[in-house]
Every structure is written in structure tokens, then in C-alpha cells.
Amino acid sequence: MQLHSLKSYSGTLIAFSGLAILAGLFAVVAHMIYRDPALRQDAFLLEIAKGAMALAVGTIIGGFVKILFTAHEIERENRAITVKFRQSVLNDLKSINDRIETSKLLLLADRSAKTYSERMQDCIAARVALRDVDDSVRDGEADQTLRTYLKPRLKDMVDYLDELVDEYVKYFKKVAVEQQFDEARKNAVMQCEAEKYNLQRSSGEQVETPAVASRAWELLCNSTEFQLFGDLIGGDQMRKEQFVYPYRQCRAKIRAYLKG
């Protein structure tokens, strides 16, 4: 229950307590009049007794209705807060999954160490965001059953991104060195080809641009040090088992709770 809801409910209980005391006083007055034969003979006092009893009953019934209404409003408000929180978790998880999926597609489209470094920056940001989601579920999800279901699956997702990023941090330096050599070789080849191009063009020969192998990319793809990266652009089995499937399970469970 939210803090402002607790204040509202406490205020209602205090008000009802005051009304109950007042109703009790009305009831005592009415009882005293009805109990004393002499007072019962007084028509004015008898009317006062009747009015006091009516006020006592009305006060108690009105206070009870107020409590029920306040409890209903608090439940409705908390339900809206819970729905908003779960929808936010769902949106955040989708954004994180989309970011990882986009990184994979861009790596497959542009196979270079430079792109790998850029996409890993996105993965680092996704890891930070996922940890925030994990913390918010731990602290903000009121339903114990749902929280228990989500926690191990979120942990699997966090662990996968931790390993992917740690792999990048630990081993990328040697890839960066190879990338520098690749750039130097590429520049040298392009300069040589430019000279050949001018000669071939002047003689009418067909000009072909040779492919320049990337030792940095070969290191990324063939090294046992980049197992998660190799899986990401290859069979993608580890990512599916440790990240995609847990994400889909979390998504399905949260959607079911939102519908319920």
C-alpha cells in the first residue's frame, strides 16, 4: 500500500473513531432517558432520546460505509500503480532485448572490429538498464509469486550480458591492435592500387579492387577467447538459452498478470 494511501486510510479511521465516540455519547443520553420513568414522561426529552438513537445509528452506518469506500479507492489506486509499474518493466525489457538484437544484426551487416566495439557500448548500456530492472522488480513488485518467477530469469539475462561485456573488456585490446594493423595495411594497399588504377586506366585495362583481409575480424571469429561473440554471430545458441528465452518467459508472465 502506498504512503499517501495509508495516510488517507488512517485519516478515515481516525474520523470514524471520533464519530463512534460521538455516537456512543448519543446512545448513552438516549439510554438514560429511556431508563428513567420520570424522564420518559417528558415528551421533549423523549424526542431527544429518539433523535440521539437515530444519530447514533446513522453515524455508525455512515462511518462504516466511508471505511468501505476508502478501502475500495485505495485498492483501485494501488491496482493502477501496480499496472503502471509492470507495464514499465515490460517496456524496459523489450527495449533491452531490441538493443541486443539490433547489435547482432549490425555486426552481421558490417563485420569489423570497429563495429564490434561500437555495438559492445550498446550492450554495456543494456546491461546497466537490465540491472536497474532487476533491482526495481526486487524492491517494487508486491506479488511474491510473480517476483519469485521473474528473479531467476532476470538473473540469467544479467549474467549473459555480464559475460558478454567482460569478454569484450578482457580481450578487446589485442583486437584493437590488430585493427590498427588492418587499417595500416588497407591504406598501403589502397595507395598501391591507386597507382595501378591510374596505369591500367590509361592503358584501357579493366580495373579490379582487391579485397583486404581483416586479421582483427578473424581473431574475433576464430579465437576461443571470444566464445560469446562467436556464438552471437554464429549459432546464437547461448544467447537464446541465457537471454532470449528468459526474456520471453518474463514477457509472457507479466502480460498474463496485466490481463488478469
Given this model, what pLDDT does residue 97 score?
96
pTM exceeds 0.75, yes or no: no
One-character DSSP codes across 67-110: HHHHHHHHHHHHHHHHHHHHHHHHHHHHHHHHHHHHHHHHHHHS
Given this model, what pLDDT does residue 4 score?
45
Given this model, what pLDDT does residue 174 score?
82
Express each pLDDT in 40-84 by its tens digit: 555 555 566 566 666 666 666 776 677 677 666 767 777 888 889
Phi, psi at 206, each rounded to 5°: -75, 135
Domain boundaries along the sequence of the chain = 3-259
Point out the least confidently predicted range of 10-14, 18-22, 235-239.
Answer: 10-14
Res. 110: pLDDT tops 60: yes
Res. 229: pLDDT tops 80: yes
Question: Is-contact 175 113, C-beta < 8 A?
Answer: yes
Calpha distance 115→5 (Å, rounded): 50
Q: Which of 250, 221, 83, 84 is nearest to 157 (CA)?
A: 250
Given this model, what pLDDT does residue 234 score?
83
Given this model, what pLDDT does residue 90 score?
96
Res. 124: pLDDT tops 90: yes
CA 241 to chain centre: 20
Given this model, what pLDDT does residue 3 score?
40
Given this model, what pLDDT does residue 24 score?
62
Q: What nine digits make up the cell of 55?
A: 444519530
Given this model, what pLDDT does residue 194 score?
59
Given this model, what pLDDT does residue 86 score?
94
Express each pLDDT in 23-37 by its tens digit: 566 556 556 655 666
Express each pLDDT in 185-221 by its tens digit: 777 766 766 555 555 555 555 545 555 567 778 888 7
Express each pLDDT in 141-179 by its tens digit: 878 899 999 999 999 999 999 999 999 998 888 887 887
Question: Is-contact 133 94, C-beta < 8 A?
Answer: no
Angle 144-203/245-259 helices, nearest 10 degrees? Answer: 130
